[in-house]
Amino acid sequence: MAESNPAGEFSACPISIPPLPSFPVNATHYIYLRRNAPRISTPDDSRSLFIANVPCDSTELHFRAFFTSLIGAGRFESISFNQDKKAIKSSHEPAQAIRLAAHRKRKRAEEELQLARDEAAAELPPTWSRQLYRSGSSAVALLADDKSVELALKAIKKLKKQKDYPVWGKGVDNKAPPLGSQWLKAHNRLSYPGNDVVQASMDAYFTIFNIKEKEAAQLAKRLRHEPDEDGFVTVTRGGRAAPARRAEAEEAKQRMLAKQQKKNDEMTDFYRFQMREKRKSEQVEMLKKFEEDKKKVQAMKQKRGKFRPET
């Protein structure tokens, strides 16, 4: 790969790729780093680095060793690869549950935790012992603090001689799962989990499916009895279950508006102490402004008395 910077804000960092049995040549790979600046900012942006063109065999262990060789141990926390974010599996929710998910009420914390456990149990185990990344993939590395980011960028600029380049994989040893034939053998073994694992995953999946279908059906039933803001009731399969005539729909609309107004009044009464405090602050501000205006008028009167026209 040519030594070129894809954007002026990036810092090019050469890394030395040691020879492999499949490619017995010492190669140089360039990764590009800059401060992370996503469209939606996060509290950790100041201590994170955006990394482009990561090696295809990257792991967290590799980048931990890489940053250790640059700025020392204890400054690297974690890394997230963007390809992993894009490859998130679908949640397998029923179609009706997906459409009505926005209207679903928030559950208690215990129920949410149990649902998360069930969803995790419904997933089949991974079939690859180690993830490989496409050429040109990117990642975001999280460091200890903002100073660590500055030290890393400065250390990269000082890399001029090839003997000073960080060696990719140095210090990882056998901590990362192996590639090559052993990687493919592990994939073949993981692709055939035991019957008990598959059965447990299916049971958890259908448990979640039935819960969400029940919630969707209850919500649909409730919506059949509630007129919209125009007073109309949606007619669903199975016949009408709410007022159909215009007069009845208008009465239902008025009841709905009265219920909403009562709710708003209750909320207003609940925050009445805040309204009193607001009125007090407005009165104080008005008196303060009135005194300032009085002083301005008095000053203008005094100035007008001393005015003498030119002759």
Could you tell me which residue, 85 or 80, shows the higher pLDDT? 80
Is 52 inside any structural domain?
yes
Task: Evaluate whether residue 39 is within a structural domain.
Answer: yes
Average pLDDT score, the chain: 79
**Alpha helices, H only, 72-123:** 82-86, 95-99, 109-122
Q: Are strands 48-52 and 27-35 parallel, antiparallel or unpaired?
A: antiparallel
More confident residue, 111 or 285: 285
Quick check: is 132 in a domain?
yes
In a domain, 300, yes or no: no
pLDDT at residue 76 is higher than 60: yes
Return the axis-axis angle of helices 246-270 and 272-305, rounded to nearest 10°.
Answer: 70
- Distances in Å between the Cα of 193 and the Cα atoms of 131, 165, 179, 181, 197 are 19, 43, 21, 20, 6
Domain span holding position 29: 11-190
Q: Let me know if residue 251 belongs to a domain.
A: no
Looking at residue 24, its pLDDT comes to 87
pLDDT at 243 over 80: no
Interatomic CA distance for residues 219 and 182, integer angstroms = 51
Place of tokens 């390809």: 83
Residue 5: predicted pLDDT: 42
Given a cut of 70, whether residue 95 has pLDDT beyond it is no
Residue with tokens 């002083």: 295
Q: Name the residue among 159, 151, 171 with its Cα closest to residue 65.
A: 171
Q: Give the confidence band of 49 by pLDDT, cuts at 50, 70, 90.
A: very high
pLDDT band at 218 (very low <50, low <70, confident <90, very high): confident
Q: What is the C-alpha separation between 198 and 207, in angstroms, rounded? A: 14
d(CA 303, CA 272): 47
Confidence at residue 141, expressed as pLDDT on a 0 to 100 scale? 94
Overall pTM > 0.75: no
Specify the higher pLDDT residue, 53 or 102. 53
Q: How many domains does the chain divide into?
A: 1
222 within some domain:
no
What was the pLDDT predicted at 117?
80
Residue 219 lies in a domain: no
User: In this structure, is residue 136 part of a structural domain?
Assistant: yes
Beta carbons within 8 Å of 306's beta carbon, 6+ residues apart: none
208 and 97 in contact (C-beta within 8 Å)?
no
Between 95 and 157, the higher pLDDT residue: 157
Is the confidence at residue 310, as pLDDT, over 50? yes
Which residue did the predictor score with more confidence, 65 or 231? Answer: 65
CA pair distance 150, 144, nearest whole angstrom: 11
Q: Are 46 and 65 in contact (CB under 8 A)?
A: no
Residues 6+ apart with CB under 8 A from 244: 233
Residue 54 forms beta bridges with which residues? none
